[in-house]
């Protein structure tokens, strides 16, 4: 057995020697490996520069200007933030709080161009606003509709912190689906440890390919007044894009409303309900003037389906209903005392601000 292995090794070495002699170019590669070129080593270093170069030109500085109270002809810069150019037509997504008190909005591009921006619309609930500028050959940030943020993904926050100029910070996605970060906001945030400071608001959170992941919006410290590090938040691009499309279409965000408050059905809730249903939501409140009440929904009903679509939780109900146009009639399937009932509900407009 030992002789067999020795013979195999010898034959392999002879074959390798013959190949190296027959193909001189292989000898060059071997020499390079034994004596590596410092320039080649440098090129092997990990760098996200290509991703930043793809995304950064589309991230703009935004300056909010207001008229002087004592002199209506005098404008002064009162706030700063960032924004992201997402369309060749010049549409820019930013945070609502960046432009909330602005009488004039100035946008500065990274190529040196400066333009006055038109406010297309705003949505206080999601802290998003859409601006528009005129210009030729505007840089557009790359987007990937097939990308879904995952915990551990490498991300970079690009913006203009403290008006220092465009800055890129690095981190990972720490969590997804974070909600109730601050009062009045219902969307599920992306949490990251990439630093987001004053002036970064409205800027881009991008992945390692330079594709837009979210709109930077807040740090935990800003939201809670607790001094923390490595906890920042961004609005997912999927939500920001939906809000933008609604604003472009209607000038504002029109949301559907049925007037119920509910809690997710889980194993514990199901046992308390005698194991009636493990999915859906348990209705814990009904607006006495809302569409659900008019349709006959009651407290302790369990909503299982909307228009035949199975409901898995409260967030899904919220997303489904808010995306429906007011006046639309939907079939809401519920469980009541163990019996399945389907009720027609006419969607109203959610006027909450």
DSSP state letters, 79-146: EEEEEEE--TT-EEEEEHHHHTT-SEEEEE-TTS-EEEPEEEEEETTTTEEEEE---SS-------TT
pLDDT classification of 143: cutoffs 50, 70, 90? very high
Query: Pairing relation of β-strands 59-68 and 71-85?
Result: antiparallel
**Greater model confidence, 165 or 178:** 165
- Whether 8 sits among the annotated catalytic residues: the reply is no
Residue 236 to residues 53, 102, 312, Cα–Cα distance (Å): 21, 25, 21
Q: Are 256 and 322 in contact (CB under 8 A)?
A: yes
Matching fold, domains 53-132 and 154-239 = yes
For residue range 205-220, list pLDDT tens digits in order. 999 999 999 999 876 6
Would you tell me how many other CB atoms lie within 10 Å of the CB of residue 151?
12
- Whether 225 sits among the annotated catalytic residues: the reply is no
- Whether 97 sits among the annotated catalytic residues: the reply is yes
Helix axes 2-22 and 24-34, enclosed angle (nearest 10): 100
Q: CA nearest 331: which of 352, 351, 311, 349?
A: 311
Q: What is the pTM (predicted TM-score) of this model?
A: 0.76
Question: What is the residue extent of each domain of the chain?
Answer: 53-132, 154-239, 256-349
CATH superfamily membership of 256-349:
PDZ domain (2.30.42.10)
Q: Which CATH class is domain 154-239?
A: mainly beta
Catalytic annotation, pick one of 64, 82, 97, 301: 97
Q: What is the largest CA-CA distance in the chain?
A: 100
Using CA atoms, how far apart are residues 135 and 145, in angstroms rounded to an integer?
Answer: 26
Instruction: Calculate what percentage of the chain has a pLDDT beyond 90.
Output: 50
Catalytic annotation, pick one of 64, 82, 201, 232: 201
Q: Which CATH class is domain 53-132?
A: mainly beta
Catalytic annotation, pick one of 64, 82, 123, 127: 127
Using CA atoms, how far apart are residues 244 and 236, in angstroms rounded to an integer?
Answer: 12
């Amino acid at each position: 057995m030992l002789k067999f292995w020795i013979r195999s090794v010898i034959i392999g070495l002879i074959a390798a020697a013959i190949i190296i002699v027959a193909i001189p170019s292989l000898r060059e590669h071997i020499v390079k490996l034994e004596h590596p070129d410092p320039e080649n080593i440098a090129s092997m270093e990990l760098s996200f520069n290509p991703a930043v170069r793809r995304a950064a030109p589309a991230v703009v500085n935004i300056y909010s200007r207001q008229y002087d109270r004592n002199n209506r002809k005098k404008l002064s810069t009162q706030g700063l933030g960032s924004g992201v150019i997402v369309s060749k037509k010049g549409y820019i997504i930013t945070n609502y709080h960046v432009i909330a008190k602005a009488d004039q909005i100035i946008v500065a591009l990274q190529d040196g161009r400066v333009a006055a921006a038109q406010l297309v619309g705003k949505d206080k609930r999601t802290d998003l606003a859409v601006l528009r500028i005129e210009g030729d050959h505007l840089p557009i940030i790359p987007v990937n509709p097939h990308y879904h943020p995952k915990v551990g993904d490498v991300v970079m926050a690009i913006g203009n912190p403290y008006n220092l100029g465009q800055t890129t910070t690095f981190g990972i996605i720490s969590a997804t689906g974070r909600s109730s970060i601050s009062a009045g906001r219902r969307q599920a945030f992306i949490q990251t440890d990439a630093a987001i400071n004053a002036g970064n608001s409205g800027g881009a959170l991008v992945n390692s390919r330079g594709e837009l992941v979210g709109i930077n919006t807040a740090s935990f410290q800003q939201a809670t007044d607790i001094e923390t590090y490595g906890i920042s938040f961004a609005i997912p691009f999927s939500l920001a894009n939906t809000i933008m499309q609604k604003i472009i279409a209607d000038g504002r965000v029109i949301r559907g409303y049925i007037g119920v408050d509910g809690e997710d059905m889980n194993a514990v809730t199901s046992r308390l309900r005698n194991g009636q249903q493990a999915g859906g939501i348990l209705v814990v409140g009904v607006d006495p003037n809302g569409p659900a009440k008019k349709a006959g929904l009651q407290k302790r009903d369990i909503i299982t389906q909307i228009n035949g679509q199975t409901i898995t939780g409260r967030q899904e109900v919220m997303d489904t209903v808010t995306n429906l146009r007011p006046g639309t009639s939907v079939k809401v399937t519920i469980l009541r005392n163990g019996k399945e009932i389907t009720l027609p509900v006419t969607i109203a407009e959610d006027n909450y601000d």
